[in-house]
Structure 1
């Protein structure tokens, strides 16, 4: 028998609550991306920064297609982003020894330095949030956010 009121359905209530949580995370992501992008060096976008950040966090030597999958963008979009980074000497594309036709993305010292400058340029703005938000709260929420990200990463890969 169909339910007339989805508010009585526990899975609907749980789904709405998770939607609200992800909606807040999405809004936070949008606001933080806009702030970071406003501090990036001329001509660089959030896409450039996130590619550099990914390579620093997880290590270089990734293929463009693997990066496209991780970022859930078409290979052509990732190729465009990587071309912009290569043009600025922030990455190098080298032949993939396992696949003669493919390439590997290698981070340059300039790419690492640019990422650090970007983080340093936004850090004072972010640090201003701590007195209002609280260091203890930031430390306590971080493990939960990492767990949620890991769950979403695994769900993406299914």
Structure 2
């Protein structure tokens, strides 16, 4: 790898890490009181897939440890946003689904963060964002494969 490629890689990942931190901070502040970005992400995932998931499946989907996912799921259960049921075939396993309260909380979160995201996209320009998406998707796929 050349020094030029090294510099380019460092610059790219520096931008990605900074964007991640800034987006996390800005969106976290906009979420409804008491909701964390991790909780919104899980609710959004459950709503999109439309079926039950095990905690292990959710941890894998988010590239988290089971402990980190259990913490988020405990908070969502305490808030009344998810339904947790035992696996009738294996009592050690549980299934998680989003409930009506969780759907309402997800919708409130989307309503809170959408204007922020839309404003940023508008300022950058939709054509430029469309051009960036394939590169970002490929980068995500390459990192996810490793």
TM range (shorter): 0.7 to 0.9
Aligned twin of 1:147: 138
In our comparison, the structure showing a higher alpha carbon Rg is 1
TM-score normalized by the length of structure 2: 0.84
Q: Which SS does the other structure have where 1:128 is aligned? A: helix
For the structure 1 residues 19 and 60, does the alpha-carbon distance in structure 2 shift closer, same or farther, using more than 3 Å as the test? farther
Deviations 1:105-157 (A, max 9, x none): 111122222222212212222222234311111122122212221222222xx
Give the gaps of 5 or more residues in structure 1: 1-8
Q: How many residues align?
A: 146
1:39 aligns with 2:49: no
Q: Higher relative CO (CA 8 A, sep ≥ 6), structure 1 or 2?
A: 2
Q: Which SS does the other structure have where 1:129 is aligned? A: helix
Runs of 4+ in 1 over 6 A off after TM superposition: none
Q: Which SS does the other structure have where 1:94 is aligned? A: strand
Matches of 2:105 and 2:136 in 1, distance apart? 26
Q: Which SS does the other structure have where 2:101 is aligned? A: helix
Matches of 1:33 and 1:27 in 2, distance apart? 10
Give the gaps of 5 or more residues in structure 2: none
Matches of 1:145 and 1:108 in 2, distance apart? 32
TM-score normalized by the length of structure 1: 0.79
For the structure 1 residues 112 and 150, does the alpha-carbon distance in structure 2 shift closer, same or farther, using more than 3 Å as the test? farther
Structure 1 contact 36–118 (Cα < 8 Å) conserved: no
